[in-house]
């Protein structure tokens, strides 16, 4: 399990710039993922061989200045609750503000590691000015300039050093893991209760690390898997259930922990921003996804047919539209079995392997019929391709000039793969390499 790092602080201190810098480190190592990443408040990063997840709380604060303080306090409390390490960003130009003092007061009571990061320190004079931040009572601080990147290396070295050791989750056998995720009140608990039923066909409850989701072994209707339940993770009285940050924070852990994510959305509310954030979170982690439109029994069918509803959702999912969408009701148990079958199918799709000879036989004909467009009079030739032996579907195409194969052509290749093999619900990675 990856550690989760939350970046907190008042508005306009450079949290998002620091966040973008951390994420780019990761993006520079891995090929950029096709499609638009919409989840700019969450990302994965890597430093000195250690991977971790980063959450930028800045993207979640909306409203006027008087709303800010209450929102920031809520977020810091949630970050304290759910993250493993907290980076508290302050601004040397403005010095200590009353809002900084409020945040520091909350953080002083915490047992988790807190790194105080003083931004916009790009010369010796400002290095001296930073000394005043000792007054926040959080001990040593790190100076950096998020725009130029100076000082971020030292901050990251310290971050890696304070990561708590993660105990591997004990799972008795390798069963598929399905996480039930979604915004609060979408019906996740009802869905899980409807599945488990009163008979409770549970063999064991396997607890993850204390703050993780709980794995429930499910053995019913001929299916066997571990259900990762986010609905029941530490529901705190002090937390406002409608806070977007909270449900994303919660989902991060469950998604990283799963093979397939069952995203439950509320039919009466539609596919909202928060549902989309959770969807792109799963996609970015290369997990299988099934979307369940719950409470379908409450929707007036004459105003909205399932086909129109599905079309609206797929428009939001562009370009990754090859995802099963089912209309269910946890209350009336309508189509729950179908939902399970779809989830198991996505799990099978995710682990399927295509023989190299078959893959070449089909894909080379496809490429010959529509080769990559010529760039600057240069023609790209692709002579060989294969599936990589990775946990998630990844394909490599060997070309004489890989730099000229652009995103639209990669998407074309992906669509052709999906036309011939069933990868519904599963993100695919396409790499072009020099032969």
For 131-150, what is each residue's pLDDT tens digit?
Answer: 999 999 998 999 998 888 88
Instruction: With a cut of 70, say whether residue 225 has pLDDT above it.
Output: yes
1 or 435: which leads in pLDDT: 435
Phi and psi, residue 315, nearest 5°: -60, -40
- What stretch of H or E contains 44? strand 42-47
CA distances from 262 to 129, 293, 294, 344, 423 (A): 50, 10, 11, 11, 16
Instruction: With a cut of 60, say whether residue 40 has pLDDT above it.
Output: no
DSSP 49-103: TEEEEEEEGGGG--S-HHHHHHHHHHHHHHHHHH-SEEEEEEETTT---HHHHHH
Instruction: With a cut of 70, say whether residue 420 has pLDDT above it.
Output: yes
Which residue, among 155, 137, 135, has the nearest Cα to 145 in the 3D structure? Answer: 155
Average predicted confidence (pLDDT) for the chain = 81
- CB-count exposure of residue 195 (10 Å: 0-12, 13-18, 19+): buried
- CB-count exposure of residue 378 (10 Å: 0-12, 13-18, 19+): exposed
Tokens of 331: 């209350």
Sign of CA dihedral 90, 96, 102, 108: positive
What average pLDDT does range 338-345 have in this prediction? 93
Instruction: With a cut of 80, say whether residue 70 has pLDDT above it.
Output: no
Contact 411, 321 (CB under 8 A): no
Which residue, among 51, 65, 68, has the nearest Cα to 4 in the 3D structure? Answer: 51
Q: Residue 41: helix, strand or coil by DSSP?
A: coil
Task: Quote the pLDDT of residue 89.
Answer: 93
Q: Say how far apart CA 404 and CA 18 lie, in whole Å.
A: 32
Contacts of 155 (CB under 8 A, 6+ apart): 87, 115, 117, 142, 144
Task: Quote the pLDDT of residue 66.
Answer: 55
Q: Say how far apart CA 31 and CA 412 lie, in whole Å.
A: 17
Q: Say how far apart CA 319 and CA 323 lie, in whole Å.
A: 11
Task: Quote the pLDDT of residue 58.
Answer: 65
128 or 72: which leads in pLDDT: 128
Residue 346: other Cβ atoms inside 10 A: 26
Q: Say how far apart CA 84 and CA 418 lie, in whole Å.
A: 38
Which residues sit opposite 265 in a β-bridge? 293
Global confidence as pTM = 0.70
Which residues sit opposite 44 in a β-bridge? 53
Task: Quote the pLDDT of residue 244.
Answer: 58
Q: Residue 241: helix, strand or coil by DSSP?
A: coil
Tens digit of pLDDT for each residue in 272-301?
877 888 898 889 889 999 999 999 888 877
What average pLDDT does range 174-201 have in this prediction? 76
């Amino acid at each position: 399990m990856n550690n989760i790092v939350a970046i907190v602080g008042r508005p306009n201190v450079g949290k998002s710039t620091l966040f973008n810098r951390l994420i780019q480190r990761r993006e520079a190592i891995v090929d950029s993922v096709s499609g638009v990443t919409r989840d700019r408040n969450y990302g994965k990063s890597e430093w000195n061989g250690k991977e971790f997840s980063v959450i930028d709380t800045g993207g979640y604060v909306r409203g006027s200045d008087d709303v800010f303080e209450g929102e920031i306090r809520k977020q810091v409390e949630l970050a304290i609750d759910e993250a493993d390490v907290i980076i508290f960003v302050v601004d040397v130009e403005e010095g200590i503000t009353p809002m900084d003092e409020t945040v520091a007061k909350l953080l002083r009571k915490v047992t988790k590691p807190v790194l105080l990061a003083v931004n916009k320190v790009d010369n010796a004079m400002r290095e001296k000015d930073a000394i005043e931040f000792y007054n926040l009572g959080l001990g040593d601080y790190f100076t950096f300039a998020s725009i130029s990147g100076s000082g971020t290396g030292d901050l990251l070295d310290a971050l890696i050093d304070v990561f708590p050791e993660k105990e591997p989750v004990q799972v008795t056998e390798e069963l598929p893991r399905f996480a039930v995720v979604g915004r609060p009140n979408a019906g996740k608990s009802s869905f899980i209760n409807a599945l488990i039923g009163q008979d409770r066909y549970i063999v064991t409850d396997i607890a993850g690390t204390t703050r993780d989701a709980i794995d429930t072994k499910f053995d019913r209707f001929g299916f066997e898997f571990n259900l990762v339940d986010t609905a029941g993770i530490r529901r705190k009285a002090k937390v406002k259930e409608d806070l977007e940050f909270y449900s994303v924070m919660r989902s991060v852990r469950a998604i990283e922990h799963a093979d397939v994510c069952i995203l439950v959305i509320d039919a009466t509310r539609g596919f909202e921003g928060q549902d989309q954030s959770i969807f792109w979170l799963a996609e970015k982690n290369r997990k299988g996804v099934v979307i369940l439109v719950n409470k379908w029994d409450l929707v007036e069918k004459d105003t909205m047919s399932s086909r129109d509803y599905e079309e609206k959702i797929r428009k939001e999912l562009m370009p990754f539209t090859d995802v099963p969408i089912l209309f269910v009701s946890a209350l009336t148990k309508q189509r729950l079995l179908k939902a399970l079958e779809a989830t198991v199918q996505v799990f099978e799709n995710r682990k399927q392997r295509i023989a190299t000879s078959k893959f070449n036989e089909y894909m080379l004909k496809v490429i010959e019929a529509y080769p990559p467009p010529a760039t600057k009079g240069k023609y790209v030739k692709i002579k060989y391709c294969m599936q990589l032996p990775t946990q998630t579907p990844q394909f490599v195409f060997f070309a004489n000039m890989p730099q000229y194969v652009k995103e639209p052509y990669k998407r074309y290749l992906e669509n052709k793969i999906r036309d011939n093999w069933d990868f519904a619900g599963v993100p695919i990675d396409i790499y072009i390499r020099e032969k």
